[in-house]
Copies of this chain bind each other. A is one copy, B any other.
């Protein structure tokens, strides 16, 4: 008998949690762009299809960032042309600028995401912009996308800590976030890009957004497990009413052999928690773990997800 056949995890509810959580699956984009191996487009297509089979309803498919910066996703056009989409499943694509938006519109994409920074230093390093001028750059992208009827998400990276600046003031994150929402962005994904946040910070930042009058319905969270805090931070966010959580199937994007494990929260570890808490996700854990074990084989290394390793190792 496996632990799954024995009915584990046990379901034991806890007060103050949502009934249902939407998982924003970032494996094919944020996961694969941080893997050393470049995965063939056929494998990516099968991966995305299997993620939908497992019950995921939001699958960030790829990115139109220039192939010079992200060679792993250089096949974005080809992938989107061959992707068999399904009703009830969204396949958002990351776009960096107006040229990216043109490509997304040409590909018939209905959901896009842009990637902003909460800190000056990272805005400068990642986009060669000031924190303010990145917003000036995004404004025409978002305005045109919204006018075209697209749904636009805004990643706010370095929302908790920054590798050059250290602590990030919640007020700075709220300020960037509110300007993005004012442009017409429907959801902010508050990212702990370097994985340093702890639960009290999550509480403080969500509290700061609430005080500024931002409904929690516009907020998603995106945690990295660099310091082992991703799942604990996620549960804290759920307690504050957040109902959209980013994660990466099999923990893609973090390598278990690497010196530092900087990967995203693994979707399976998240689903184990939510299944245990009786919070519905629509995801079939066993089907998802099979898919991640299959992808780990394609990448030639074990999955960094603890659940995948325990169930399928």
Number of this chain's copies in the assembly equals 2
Q: Shortest CB–CB separation between residue A238 and chain B, in angstroms?
A: 10
A14 at the interface (CB under 8 A from B): yes
Q: Shortest CB–CB separation between residue A280 and chain B, in angstroms?
A: 14
- Evaluate whether A10 and B161 lie within 8 angstroms (CB atoms) in the complex, with A232-B231, A258-B313 already known: yes
Q: Which of B10, B11, B262, B278 contacts A310 (CB 8 A)?
A: B262
Using Cβ atoms and an 8 Å threshold, which residues of chain B touch A194?
3
Binds B, one of A39-47, A50-58, A67-75, A163-171: A163-171
A8 at the interface (CB under 8 A from B): yes
A305 at the interface (CB under 8 A from B): yes
A250 at the interface (CB under 8 A from B): no
Q: Which of B163, B167, B273 contacts A229 (CB 8 A)?
A: B273
Binds B, one of A76-84, A135-143, A182-190, A195-203: A195-203
A261 at the interface (CB under 8 A from B): yes
State the CA gap A199–B164 with chains docked (Å): 34
- Evaluate whether A310 and B199 lie within 8 angstroms (CB atoms) in the complex, with A232-B231, A305-B228 already known: no
Using Cβ atoms and an 8 Å threshold, which residues of chain B touch A266?
228
A105 at the interface (CB under 8 A from B): no
A147 at the interface (CB under 8 A from B): no
- Binary interface encoding of chain A residues 226-269 relative to chain B, with 1 for a CB under 8 A from any of its CBs, else 0: 11110110011000000000000000000011111110001001
Contact in complex: A227, B6 (CB < 8 Å): no
Contact in complex: B227, A269 (CB < 8 Å): yes
State the CA gap A196–B228 with chains docked (Å): 17
A282 at the interface (CB under 8 A from B): no
Using Cβ atoms and an 8 Å threshold, which residues of chain B touch A306?
225-228, 261
State the CA gap A201–B275 with chains docked (Å): 12
Contact in complex: B228, A272 (CB < 8 Å): yes
A106 at the interface (CB under 8 A from B): no
A277 at the interface (CB under 8 A from B): yes
Known: A200-B276, A232-B273, A260-B313. 6 other contacts (CB 8 A): A10-B196, A195-B310, A198-B275, A228-B231, A258-B313, A261-B310
Closest 3 CB pairs of A and B: A198-B276, A259-B313, A12-B200
- Interface residues, chain A, with chain B CB atoms under 8 Å away: 1, 3, 6-14, 160-161, 163-167, 194-201, 203-204, 225-229, 231-232, 235-236, 256-262, 266, 269, 272-273, 275-278, 302, 305-307, 309-310, 313
